[in-house]
Every structure is written in structure tokens, then in C-alpha cells.
Amino acid sequence: MRKGAVVTWEQVRVGLLILVALGLLSVGVFLVGDTGNVFGERYRLVTLVRSASGLVPGAAVQLAGQTVGQVDDIRFIPPDERPESREAVAIWLAINVRVQDQIRADSRAQVRTQGLLGDRLIDIRPGSSDARVLQPGDTVASAASLDYDALLAEGAEAVGDLTDVARNLSTLTSGLLEGRGTLGQLVVDEQLYERLVGLAESLDTLVASAASPDGALMRMLTDDTLYAAVRSAVTSFDTLTRSVVEGEGTLGQLIRSDSLYRELTGTVARADSLLAGLLAGEGSAGRLFGDDELYEELLRTLVELNGMLEDVRRDPSRYVPEISVF
């Protein structure tokens, strides 16, 4: 009969170590599964998004920042079945039933990044107490997610703009230091600087003179006589204005009396009637305006009179009669 193999103490220690390791591994798997809601009972919801960039099946699903499930499936929506809001991707979520009461009709699901450069995940905002609890297969409305690629692109454009501004400032500063342009001349021209210093000194002297108690400006500001004269002038002007408004004097009569207005109206009417008669050719003056034959006759008479006057100037003796006493 064959003897049994002898078990040594070293083999027993190895077996015990393996058993302890398996026990610790089981406890760790249970704790991890309980923390990540891996082994809990789940139900499925779906959310529709325009883009699921960076999101993969198995990604975490969080509720108010706490992990409650994972992404179960990601599918494209056929073009003819897409909603009017143009979502193109359907994301199926496996969520622990223990938080089903927190996810309601007004909850919102958002694709976001864990941290700035971490993994992509789904974050759900809890709903309000008066909204309906979502049931398995229902759709969680999606919220617009922050597009980090677009943000980085805008940041790159902003950096480019800042670079251009810095380059322009460098060019401007170089031009100023080289004395180009009016501002550059102000920076490097010592003569202009000395002129500005002289102008400042002159202005300072002028201000000091004006502020002097003996100066004309301060005397005008502090002299009571000038104040009294100005007040008297204002009072006189006020009295004159009141007199005119009340109709006193010739100017007041011109302003308040309507007799001058009636006389001016009558004069204008008579002048208008006279001009109308002249234009119509009435009377001698009207014939002068409208009769062409009379105009030509007067013109010939004036020409002949002018010729006779010229003849008189040349030979006045022809027009002096001979006078005989006897």
C-alpha cells in the first residue's frame, strides 16, 4: 500500500496566503462594485445629443456629481428619424434603480469632461419634486455641453490677436524711439522739449500774475465796484425790458400796438396794387414797362439828345445867337 504524501508547513503557509489574498480580492471587488454601482439593479434611459465626441461605452454616468451608472450603448439616429432639434446620437444609460426617484421629466443630461482634460462622462441634473419620475426606456432631455475644442480654438485665436497687438506695439515703440512721425518727434526732439518747458513756464508766470491780488483779473473778481456796476447794468436792462413789454416809449409801441402793423399791411397792399398796374401796362409808367414802341422812341430821343450835347461841346458858338443892339 502506497504511503500518502507529507504536507509540509511551507505548503500550508502558501495555501493560507492564497486564501487570504482571494478573500481580500473578493472584498475589494465588492467594495468597488458597490461604490461604482456595478452590481446594483439597473434600469435604462436614453438621451439624445448632437455630438458624443470623446464619449465611449462604459463611461461614467453621474447624478449631481455622484456616479450612479455607466454608458451602456451609443448609436447614431437615422437621418429620417432625427428630431427637429437635430440631435444625431442616442446614448443609452444604465442607471442604478436606487436613484430613479431623483431623475424626473425636468432633469437634464449633459456630456462633460471630468476636470479640464479628463475622461468624458454623462452628468444628470436632478429633477424637481413636482415633475414626473422617468420610467425605464424614457428619454432624458439633454443640455448643451461645453465644446472644449471650440474653446481652445477661440483661445488660440485670442492668443494670435494678442501676438499681433504685441507686434504692432513693438513696431510703434520702435518708430517712436527712432523719431518717426509727430509723436516720435515729441519723444526725441530736445528743442521741442525745451519749447514745451518754456511754454509751461510762461503759463505758470501768467497764472501767477493772474492770481496776484494786484493783478487785473483778481481785481475784476474781488472789486465790489465792478460787481455794483454789473448789477446796475443788469437792473437797467431789466427796467428797459419791462418798459418795452408794457408798451412804454416808441419801441414799446412798436411791439404792443397793432396800428403800425395795419399801416404796414396797407402800404404793402398799395405797393402790390401799384406793381400789378405797372406790369399790366396801366398809366404812363405802365406803358413805359410794356410798350416797346415807346421804349424805342425814347431810346432814339436819348441818342439824338446825346449827339446834340456832343456837338455843343465841340462847337458851342453855333448855338449862340447873334445879338444886335442897333
CA pair distance 65, 113, nearest whole angstrom = 12
- Asked if pLDDT for residue 96 goes beyond 90, the answer is yes
What angle, rounded to 10 degrees, do the helices at 224-245 and 249-256 form? 50
130: cell is: 413636482
Q: Answer whether 31's CB lies under 8 Å from 62's CB.
A: no
CA angle, residues 75, 80, 81, in degrees to nearest 5: 50
The winner for highest mean pLDDT among 93-97, 201-205, 219-223, 261-265 is: 93-97
pTM exceeding the 0.75 threshold for the entire prediction = no
- pLDDT tens column, 219-242: 666 767 767 777 788 888 888 787
Where does the chain show beta strands of DSSP type E?
A: 42-49, 60-63, 66-76, 89-96, 108-113, 120-125, 139-140
Q: Which pLDDT score is estimated for 117?
A: 65
* Burial class for 69, CB neighbours closer than 10 Å (0-12, 13-18, 19+): buried
CA dihedral over 65, 69, 74, 80, signed as positive or negative = negative
Q: Which pLDDT score is estimated for 1?
A: 43
The winner for highest mean pLDDT among 27-31, 161-165, 292-296, 313-317 is: 161-165
CA pair distance 236, 243, nearest whole angstrom = 11
- pLDDT tens column, 65-79: 899 999 999 999 898
H or E stretch at 176: helix 148-177
The percent of residues in the chain predicted with pLDDT above 90, rounded, is 15
Residue 69 pairs with which residues in a beta bridge?
61, 95
Bridging pattern class, strands 66-76 and 89-96:
antiparallel
Mean pLDDT (whole number) for 20-44:
70
Q: Which pLDDT score is estimated for 171?
A: 81
Count of CB atoms within 10 A of residue 134's CB? 22
* Domain residue spans of the chain: 29-150, 258-314
Residue 96 pairs with which residues in a beta bridge?
42
Count of CB atoms within 10 A of residue 101's CB? 12
- pLDDT tens column, 306-326: 887 887 777 777 666 665 555
- Asked if pLDDT for residue 47 goes beyond 50, the answer is yes
- Asked if pLDDT for residue 260 goes beyond 50, the answer is yes
Q: Answer whether 120's CB lies under 8 Å from 54's CB.
A: yes
CA dihedral over 315, 316, 319, 320, signed as positive or negative = negative
- Asked if pLDDT for residue 145 goes beyond 70, the answer is no
Bridging pattern class, strands 60-63 and 42-49:
unpaired
Q: Which pLDDT score is estimated for 30?
A: 61
Confidence of residue 15 (pLDDT cuts 50, 70, 90): confident
- Asked if pLDDT for residue 88 goes beyond 70, the answer is yes
Q: Answer whether 104's CB lies under 8 Å from 9's CB.
A: no
- Asked if pLDDT for residue 10 goes beyond 90, the answer is no
pLDDT higher at 150 or 194 = 194
Q: Which pLDDT score is estimated for 218?
A: 66
Q: List, in order, residues 6 or more apart from 32 with CB less than 8 Å away.
A: 38
